[in-house]
Amino acid sequence: MAAFACASRTLRVEPHVVSSSNRLAVLIPTKGRHDSLRRSLPLVVVAAGRVGAAVVLCDQSATPFADPGPWTVLHRPDLSGLPAARNALLAATSAEVVLFIDDDTDLAPDFCERLEDLSADRIALGWGPVVESRTPWTRRLHRLAQPGCFRDPRRLVAGPGAASTWDVSTWALFGCCFAVRREVALATGGFDARRPGYALGEDLDFFRRLRDRFGPGRLRFTADLRAVHRRDGGDRADRYRRGFAKGRFLRWWAARHGRGDPVTLPSLLIASLAAMSGWGQEPADPRGVLAGLAGALG
């Protein structure tokens, strides 16, 4: 996507909570990835500006993001993990619809306009784009080595060249870019702040609880919403730490066996071997995967 110039209005860094009366708010949790924010925010500002949506960041870094622009920063280094940051962002706005994006996600210029149009449908409770970037055959081959391969609907959505299949009902959206009615998120109980890390199944946990409360099929994938998940940032550049995060996730996944996750010893073995293969979109160091499985970062 092309880059856009960002408006130069300076907003002060807020230590706690701000409110917004806009119909839509764009909420971005971030920690230690200010360079990623600088790449993403110009496109966010363009998309949000078309509908007057507020842009709020929750920065868990030791030093807050201080670049000037039409956004508000909640500096919350006291919070641990992504769920806690998302809950703080939910409390910081009164917008009817909240759009959560990762700090390394690019929005199309018309994203927020399309989202406001979609939100006029009172039956749907949430919306999201298909950010799967692998080709259909590659996706199918990797599906069997991914957690929740038979129950997670995000694993079943086609990749490039299959946009006609994107307008479908679902009970789970991609965590890097999804919108939901704020009252629905609050009624679901928000995000489980007991989960201290990032990428440890918190998105799927939230969507499961939403499905249990409001029923299946109330969320939608739609081709009208276009976004790109760049998958960049500090920790992702380190193959060992990336492997450790994958191993830690697989360990958590296995620990949930018998509590709703269809993990078996063979599927855990396949997933672990896939993570250690050094292939894929984010190759990992096999030693890091083993350390994550063992539960200790070396």
Structural domain spans, the chain = 13-130+166-235, 237-294
| 126-128/97-101 β-pairing | unpaired
* Average pLDDT in the chain: 79
Amino acid, res. 152: D
Query: Could you tell me which residues are beta bridge partners of residue 177?
Result: 101
Min mean pLDDT across 94-98, 162-166, 240-244, 263-267 is at: 162-166
How far is the C-alpha of 193 from the C-alpha of 191, rounded, in Å? 6
Cross-strand partners of 56: 27, 72
- The count of C-alpha atoms lying within 13 angstroms of the C-alpha of 201, restricted to the half-sphere facing its C-beta, is 22
236 token code pair: 């992702």
Note the pLDDT of residue 53: 97
β 177-181/126-128 pair status: antiparallel
Whether 59 has a pLDDT exceeding 90, the answer reads yes
- pLDDT at res. 216: 87
Q: Check whether 62 has a pLDDT greater than 90.
A: yes
CB 285 within 8 A of CB 242: yes
Q: State the Cα–Cα distance between residues 63 and 229, nearest whole angstrom.
A: 25
Name the superfamily (CATH) of residues 13-130+166-235.
Spore Coat Polysaccharide Biosynthesis Protein SpsA; Chain A (3.90.550.10)
Output the pLDDT for position 204.
81
CA angle 271, 275, 280 (to 5 degrees): 115
Alpha carbon distance 205, 189 (integer Å): 11
Residues 6+ apart with CB under 8 A from 2: none
φ, ψ of residue 169 in degrees (nearest 5) = -75, 150
Q: How many CB atoms lie within 10 A of CB 32?
A: 15
Q: Comparing 6 with 181, which gets the higher pLDDT?
A: 181
**What band does 12 get if pLDDT is binned at 50, 70 and 90?**
very low
* pTM of this structure: 0.75
For 125, residues 6+ apart whose C-beta sits below 8 A from its C-beta are 180, 181, 184, 210, 214, 218, 219
Other CB atoms within 10 Å distance of the CB of residue 167? 12
**pLDDT > 50? residue 16:** no
> What's the token pair of residue 267?
């599927």
